[in-house]
């Protein structure tokens, strides 16, 4: 026995003979009608276009919310307001959950270092690595620190710390370049003492710092 028919099947089986015939003829007519096929194609294109528009609107909303959160974070008014802080963090959270790379980097860093529970810290670490893999230079530096010191979710792995520090330094992160210079100077992170490489990373760190201060990059090549 197959058991009781599904509700939809029961509704069809309860139709009269003429009703069944009309239903079957109607299905056949729809299948064979060129105008029906054209309408279906038009509906499919319209649906796809509508979906793309909705995605663009959602992406724009997330970017605007991130910009608002960043402005609230740096605003000088109501600096000690709990309400302002909650709103700011809620906006960063929404943007991070939507996959906004910069929000993943910042909010992940905040959760990892200031989270109230192990679950918060674990989520923060995941967010940091998501942003790091997406190319966020600040998250790459934080990923290096996570692997250098280790945490509950990620064991201490010096070779991975070096990988992330080097990636961030090459992308222009000054602190990451400083850490690489220090590691080659004092044989940290499993690296050998190498004064030449230490000097190269130190020069890269200096260029990054001058770039952040607004000095033209072209002047650093002389």
Residue 15 has a pLDDT of 43
Neighbours of 173 (CB within 10 A): 22
Give 54's pLDDT tier (boundaries 50, 70, 90): low
For the entire predicted model, the pTM comes to 0.71
User: Could you give the count of Cα atoms lying within 13 Å of 16 in the half-sphere of its Cβ?
Assistant: 3
Q: Is 98 buried (19+), middle (13-18) or exposed (0-12) by CB count in 10 A?
A: middle
Quick: pLDDT tens for 158-173.
Answer: 999 999 999 999 999 9
Q: Roughly how many angstroms between the first and final C-alpha of the chain, as a whole number? A: 87
């Amino acid at each position: 026995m197959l058991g009781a028919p599904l509700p939809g099947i029961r509704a069809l089986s309860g139709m009269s003979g003429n009703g069944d015939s009309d239903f079957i003829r109607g299905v056949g007519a729809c299948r064979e009608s060129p105008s029906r096929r054209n309408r279906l194609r038009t509906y499919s294109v319209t649906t796809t276009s509508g979906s793309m528009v909705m995605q663009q609107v959602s992406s724009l909303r997330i970017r605007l919310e991130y910009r608002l959160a960043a402005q609230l974070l740096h605003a000088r008014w109501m600096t000690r307001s709990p309400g302002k802080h909650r709103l700011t963090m809620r906006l960063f959270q929404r943007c991070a959950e939507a996959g906004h790379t910069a929000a993943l980097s910042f909010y992940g860093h905040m959760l990892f270092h200031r989270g109230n529970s192990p679950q918060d810290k674990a989520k923060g670490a995941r967010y940091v690595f998501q942003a790091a893999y997406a190319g966020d230079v600040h998250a790459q530096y934080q990923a290096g620190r996570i692997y250098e010191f280790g945490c509950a979710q990620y064991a201490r792995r010096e070779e991975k710390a070096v990988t992330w520090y080097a990636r961030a330094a090459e992308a222009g992160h000054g602190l990451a370049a400083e850490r690489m210079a220090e590691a080659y100077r004092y044989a940290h992170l499993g690296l050998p003492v190498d004064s030449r490489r230490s000097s190269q990373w130190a020069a890269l760190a200096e260029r990054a710092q001058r770039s952040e201060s607004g000095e033209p990059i072209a002047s650093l090549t002389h």
